[in-house]
Every structure is written in structure tokens, then in C-alpha cells.
Amino acid sequence: MNYVETRLAKLARTGDRRAFAELVDLYKDKMYHLAYRMLGQSHEAEDIVQETFLRVYTNLDRYDVNQKFSTWIYRIATNLCIDRLRKRKPNYSLDAEMPEGEGADWYSLLASDQPSPESEVMLSETQEHIRRAIDSLPDKYKSVVILRYLQDLSLQEIGDVLDMPVTTVKTRVHRGREFLRKKLESEYGGKVFETK
């Protein structure tokens, strides 16, 4: 395999910082977008991107040049995001219903006093619904859905990144898609679908 990234990685391994900076430029947006969607927060996403590149840098010797560089870096970033999600899980769940809530959950609280993570990008009402639906995906579907739809990875590549058989990836894409559909239908009474 003679990918540009692989050549850059080999150069970076010998101590060439300019080569590494090129790798950063090639991948920072993809990694940022991935982390942003996984965590729903720009600050944490930046943290994850920094940590990802630091790990790539210190583990360059362990990078197998027969493997696609993208698979390797996606794996590192995805694992970091999943770890981060796992760690903050016990603290609070956005899906948990309020004690005396009539269908109200933590979102309704957050919406008022906390700026939306996408405050820098104005989202349409529909997009805001989608964002919340993605946020509420169970972790194991979330990573698959994000890699599939937002990073355009093939099922095979996702299998390589997440270390799971393609059949499992496929099942999770299907369940994730189903989850999103039901969420959008039940929460917004199908009005999201009517706009299209």
C-alpha cells in the first residue's frame, strides 16, 4: 500500500515534524467532527482530537504500515470517545426522565440555560431534532452510525476500526437507523418526516 498517509507516517517516525503536521492537517477536521458528534461538545471534542494525535505520535513505532492509516487513527479516536462517554455515564443520563416529569427530560432543562453545542452553526429546527436523536443513541449504535453516515466509512472499514465482524456492524447500522426513525417519529410526531 502506498497511501500518502502511510508515507507521511513513516517520515514522522524518523522524527520529521513537518510530516506529522501534514498528517494533523489531513485528519484534524475528520477527528474533530467524529468527536464532536460522539460527545456533543466542542470543548471535549478538542480534547479528544489533541489526545488522539498525541497517541498517534507516541505510538508511531507501533503503526503497522500494511494497515490503512485512517483505520488506525479512527480506532484511536473512537476508543477515546467511547471511554469518555463511559466515564461520564454514571453521573447523569440525558435520557432519564425527570422524577415528576410529564415526558420532560434533562434536555428541556439544558436547552434553556446552556448554549447548544452547535451555537456556532445555526441549526434548523429539524437539524436540532436530529442532533438530539443522535445524542440519545446508545453508545454501541452511536459510534457505528457516526462512522457510517458522518465519516462515510464502509461497513468493512468500520469493522476494522471497531474490531468487530462486518455482520455485527451491519446489524448495528440497522438497529441504529431504526432507533433514530422511532425517536424522530415518537418525539416529534412524524413532523420531521413531513418537512421533506
Angle formed by the axes of helices 4-13 and 17-39, nearest 10°: 120
Give the shortest CB-79-to-other proteins separation in angstroms.
18
Cα 1 to its chain centre, rounded Å, is 27
Residue 144's φ and ψ, nearest 5 degrees, are -65, -45
* Helix, strand, coil abundance in the chain, percent, nearest 5: 70, 0, 30
Number of chain positions touching other proteins (CB under 8 A): 52
Residue 15's φ and ψ, nearest 5 degrees, are 105, 10
Pattern 153-182, binding to other proteins, x per CB under 8 A?
--x--------------x--xx--xx-xx-
Nearest-5° Cα angle at 44, 42 to 45: 60
Q: List the one residue from 118, 140, 187, 188 that touches other proteins (CB under 8 A).
A: 118
Pattern 17-56, binding to other proteins, x per CB under 8 A?
x--xx--xx--xx-xxx--xx----x---x--xx--xx--
d(CA 87, CA 29): 24
The smaller minimum CB distance to other proteins, of residues 106 and 149, is found at 149
Which residues contact other proteins by CB under 8 A? 12-15, 17, 20-21, 24-25, 28-29, 31-33, 36-37, 42, 46, 49-50, 53-54, 57-58, 60-61, 118, 120-121, 123, 126-127, 130-131, 134, 145, 149-150, 155, 170, 173-174, 177-178, 180-181, 184-185, 190, 192-193, 196
